[in-house]
Amino acid sequence: MNVLVTGGGGFLGKAIVERLVSRGDHVRSFSRSHHQSLDELGVETVLGDLADADAVDRAVAGCDLVFHVAAKPGIWGPYLDYYLPNVVGTKNILGACRKFGVKRLVYTSTPSVVHAGRDLENANESLPYADHFATHYPRTKAEAEKMVLAAAGSEIATVALRPHLIWGPGDNHLVPRIVARGRAGRLRKIGSVEKLVDATYIDNAAEAHLLAADRLQIGSPISGKAYFIANGEPTPIWTLVDGILAAAGLPPVKKTIPYWLAYSVGATLEAFYSILRRRDEPMMTRFVAKQLSTAHWFDLSAAKRDLGYEPKVTTAEGLERLKAWFGSQKGYQFPTAPQVSGI
């Protein structure tokens, strides 16, 4: 097949690209910058911005299947910075698919579209979209997911996957954030109760996307539906954080602060950064305080039943692979500033 992966040079995008190439598909990537690693895989690259409809048309033309992975992540910044790539970009992808007769679209969403600030424990796909959002990322992703699922019909089949906290070797979001703060001694446990989270190892997330694509057809039962994806191993959040720190050769988090204090500090820093119009992310925000003190784990039975999804790499094995990866990176420079998307 001729397959387009938006954000093919990113963490998840590249993992999907590698699997498509290995099974013989002709793969095209669409992104804003060039990636030498994609050239080495023999991947065709189209450069452009998701908000540019003409550039999106050039990327989609001639494809049989689209994985729309690219998005603007993060927990800080102006609304327009998120709206243009996440909403307008998705609208452009859908328009190009209709224009060029692409019949299948797999969309990468996020569980944040249903998170309204309360615990998510054994949550399933019957949960409604949140009625309010703490940051622009989930707000714009929810709007985009709604568009994608509403587009499913007699001309195009669509499915949305909601992988939670993707991590692993080469991660440029969650792992660097934890390592940077751990190395600087700036990590604190929040609250006295350790909540459970279910994260997703990168190989499992990529495999879920291919499984969905292979089962997606016009009129198929999965068209127009969304699915939670994770490892199926709810784990105390600081156990996972300490495991990632250990893989990088760093000590576990020892200090704890009350939730109310973390939330208050986040609110103060947000106000300060807003007054100064600073675009860099505050060290603490209300969103991060809430994320680190609420449960996030999911009922994966729908993905297992409809997609044939079975997480193949356990959290323990993933941590061992991460440790080996850190050990193999000669001269690896640990990040010093955590300007990446949230935990």
pLDDT digits (tens, 9 = 90+) for 272-324: 888 878 877 787 778 787 788 889 999 999 999 999 999 999 999 999 999 99
The yes-or-no verdict on residue 163 having pLDDT over 80 is: yes
pLDDT at 334: 55
pLDDT at 74: 86
Contacts of 234 (CB under 8 A, 6+ apart): 196, 197, 198, 295, 297
pLDDT at 208: 98
pLDDT at 235: 95
pTM of the model as a whole: 0.92
The tokens of 198 are what?
């279910």
pLDDT at 36: 92
Q: Does residue 175 or residue 331 have the better pLDDT?
A: 175
Is there a contact between 36 and 8 (Cβ–Cβ < 8 Å)? Answer: no
Is there a contact between 303 and 227 (Cβ–Cβ < 8 Å)? Answer: yes
pLDDT at 332: 59
Residue 340 pLDDT grade (very low, low, confident, very high; cuts 50, 70, 90):
very low
Is there a contact between 312 and 136 (Cβ–Cβ < 8 Å)? Answer: no
Residue 30 and residue 263: Cα distance in Å, rounded? Answer: 38
pLDDT at 338: 40
Q: Which residues is 26 bridged to in the sheet?
A: 2
Pairing type for strands 189-190 and 256-257 reads parallel
pLDDT at 117: 82
pLDDT in tens, 100-134: 999 999 999 999 999 988 899 999 999 999 998 88
pLDDT at 61: 97
pLDDT at 27: 97
**Looking at this protein, which amino acid is placed at residue 110?**
T
pLDDT in tens, 81-104: 999 999 999 999 999 999 999 999
pLDDT at 86: 97
- The closest alpha carbon to 64, from 224, 227, 209, 213, belongs to 213
Q: Does residue 133 or residue 163 have the better pLDDT?
A: 163
Apex 74 CA angle, 45 and 198, nearest 5: 100
pLDDT in tens, 248-261: 999 999 999 888 88
> Quick one: CATH architecture of 2-168+196-231+296-312?
3-Layer(aba) Sandwich (3.40)
Residue 333 pLDDT grade (very low, low, confident, very high; cuts 50, 70, 90):
low
Residue 86 and residue 83: Cα distance in Å, rounded? Answer: 5
pLDDT in tens, 200-248: 999 999 999 999 999 999 999 999 999 999 999 999 999 999 999 999 9
Start-to-end CA span in the chain (Å):
35
Residue 160 and residue 294: Cα distance in Å, rounded? Answer: 24
pLDDT at 192: 79
* Burial readout 269-283 (b: 16 or more C-beta within 10 A, e: otherwise): bbeebeeeeeeebbe
The yes-or-no verdict on residue 331 having pLDDT over 70 is: no
Helix boundaries (H) for the chain: 11-22, 36-40, 53-60, 79-83, 89-100, 136-150, 174-183, 202-215, 237-247, 259-275, 286-291, 301-307, 315-328
3-class state of residue 48 by DSSP:
coil
Residue 47 and residue 8: Cα distance in Å, rounded? Answer: 11
Residues with active-site annotation: 137
pLDDT in tens, 11-54: 999 999 999 999 999 999 999 999 999 999 999 999 999 999 99
pLDDT in tens, 43-69: 999 999 999 999 999 999 999 999 999
pLDDT at 337: 42
Q: Which residues is 190 bridged to in the sheet?
A: 257
pLDDT at 335: 52
Residue 174 and residue 171: Cα distance in Å, rounded? Answer: 7
Is there a contact between 15 and 53 (Cβ–Cβ < 8 Å)? Answer: no
In this structure, what are the phi and psi dihedrals at residue 156, rounded to the nearest 5 degrees? -150, 140
Cα atoms in the 13 Å half-sphere on the side-chain side of 276: 11
> In Å, how far from its chain's centre is CA 221?
24
The yes-or-no verdict on residue 139 having pLDDT over 80 is: yes
pLDDT at 339: 40
Residue 14 and residue 205: Cα distance in Å, rounded? Answer: 12
